[in-house]
Structure 1
Amino acid sequence: MFSLTAPDAGARAALGMLVGVLLCYAFAAFGWIGLPTQLAFIAVLGCAAWSLLALRDGRTAWMIGIVAVLLVFALGSPTDEWDPRSIWLFHAKRIYLEGSLYTQLDDYAVFSHNDYPSLMPLWSATAAKLVGHWNEIFPKAAATLLLLPPLLLIARSLRTWWAAGLVAVVVVKVGGRYLVDGYMDGFLAVYAVAALAMATQPRRQDNRTAWFNLAAYAALSAVLTLIKNEGAVLAILVAVFAVATGVLRDRRMPWGLVAAFALSMLPLLAWKLSVAGAHLGNDLAQSDLKGQLLARLPDLSQSALILKALLRSDAWIPLVLLLGLWTRTWRTPAARAALLVAVAYLGVLFAVYLSTPHDLEWHLATSARRVALPVQLLLMYAVLVLLDQWRSAGSRNTAGEQHA
Structure 2
Amino acid sequence: MAASTKPLRFITSGLLLLLVLSYCYYLMLLGMQSFPVLKGCLTVINALGIYLNGNEWLQAISWQRIKAINATGFIVIAGVLLLTIYFVLHAPKYGSWDAIAIWNIHAKFAYYPHAFSQVYKNAGAYPHLDYPLMLPGAIAFLWHTFGQISITVPVLLSYTFFIAVPLLVYYALKGAGLPVAGMVTLVIFIIDGNFKEIAISQCADTILSALILTVFILYQNKAARQRENHTWLLGFICASCGWVKNDGLLFCLVFSVFFILLNYKNIAVILRYVAGLAIPLLIIGSFKIYYAPPSDLISAQNKQFSSLYSVLTDADRYLIIAKYFISTVFTNYAYALIVIFGLLVYNRRAFLKFPFAIIGAMLAAFFAVYLVSPYELKWHLYTSLYRVYQQLYPALIYLLMLSFGNRPTGASKSKSLII
- Please tell me whether the aligned partners of residues 184 and 228 of structure 1 are also in contact (alpha carbons under 8 angstroms): yes
In the alignment, which of 75, 95, 104 is matched to residue 89 of structure 1? 104
Contact 1:10 1:60 in 2 (8 A): no
In structure 2, the partner of 1:398 is none
The CA deviation string for residues 313-359 of structure 1, in whole angstroms up to 9 with x for no partner, is 2358255555666653167xxxx223111111111111111111111
1:328 corresponds to which residue? 349
Give the number of equivalent residue pairs. 376
Aligned twin of 1:401: none
How far 1:149 sits from its partner (Å)? 6.2
Taking structure 2 as the reference length, what is the TM-score of the superposition?
0.73
Q: Deviations over 1:234-264 (max 9, x none)?
A: 12222333445557xxxx4373355234423
> In structure 1, what residue type is equivalent to 2:139?
S
Q: 1:275 aligns with which of 288, 302, 324?
A: 288
**Is the helix fraction higher in 1 or 2?**
2
Partner of 2:143: 128
What is aligned with 2:367? Answer: 350
Counterparts of 1:245 and 1:62, CA distance in 2 = 39
Partner residue in 2 for 1:386:
403
Q: Kindly provide the amino acid, as one letter, of the partner of residue 329 in structure 1.
A: A
CA separation of 1:327 and 1:146: change in aligned 2, threshold 3 A: closer
Q: Which residue of 1 aligns with 2:415?
A: none
Summarize the alignment of residues 4-403 of structure 1 with structure 2, pairs less than 5 Å apart.
8-31=5-28, 34-35=35-36, 36=38, 56=69, 70=83, 74=87, 77-79=92-94, 81-98=96-113, 104-108=119-123, 110-146=125-161, 154=169, 155-156=171-172, 158-171=176-189, 173=192, 175-202=195-222, 205=223, 210-211=227-228, 213-244=230-261, 252-253=265-266, 255-256=268-269, 259-278=272-291, 280-288=293-301, 291=306, 293-311=308-326, 312-314=328-330, 317=337, 328-329=349-350, 336-390=353-407
RMSD (Å) for aligned C-alpha atoms:
4.1
Mean CA deviation greater in 115-124 or 321-330: 321-330
Conserved? CA contact 1:153–1:198, under 8 Å: no
Please state how far the C-alpha of 1:117 moved relative to its aligned partner: 0.9
CA-CA distance at 1:183 after TM superposition? 1.7
Instruction: Tell me: CA distance 1:279–1:141, structure 2 relative to 1, closer, same or farther (3 Å).
Output: closer
Percent identity over the alignment is: 18
In 2, the alpha carbon distance for the partners of 1:170 and 1:243 equals 33
2 CA distance for matches of 1:131 and 1:263?
32
Q: 1:40 to 1:279 in 2, by over 3 A?
A: closer
Whether contact under 8 Å (2:130, 2:293) holds in the other structure is yes
Distance 1:198 1:13, change over 3 A: same
Aligned amino acid, residue 238 of structure 1: F
Give me the TM-score of the superposition, normalised by structure 1. 0.76
